[in-house]
Structure 1
Amino acid sequence: MKKSQFIKEEEISFEELSENWVSLKFGNDRFVMDTDTLIDLSFRCASFLAYLEGKEQNSISENLEACNCISADKNLLH
């Protein structure tokens, strides 16, 4: 089993191989996929980012409520 590793954004790249095939590089690792898989991957990434943003927004709201910074209708700041 391969160890997890961190990569920087500049270590991520895409390359068009043919009309229906692309490669995605993460550092030294290269993955080849068809364009349908790439489209699916993009939707999964967007969905996961939306989930993370939702968690962040909930955390901010909970922290503001805990310090009584939001009014009862949650639209007006005190």
Structure 2
Amino acid sequence: MDDYSKALEFYEKALKIKEKALPSNHPSLATSYSNIGLVYDNMGDYSKALEFYEKAHQIYEKALPPNHPDLATS
């Protein structure tokens, strides 16, 4: 569990940096949200994972063309 906590800590730090440097609909933010969701998923916190997956998907929908593979897998 400690490795997941560390991963979450670093992903959240990266997200904060990206939030300051990038526009709110940048695909890189979606990638960060997705990564955080994956950690929560692996920890078994599925409702928290879903929250972050949905944030990622919303950004991908706005920022990517409808046939983009990242949108299809989000």
| TM-score, structure 2 as length reference | 0.30
User: Which one has a larger percent helix, Structure 1 or Structure 2?
Assistant: 2
Does 1 or 2 have the higher relative contact order (CA < 8 Å, sep 6+)?
Answer: 2
Bigger radius of gyration: 1
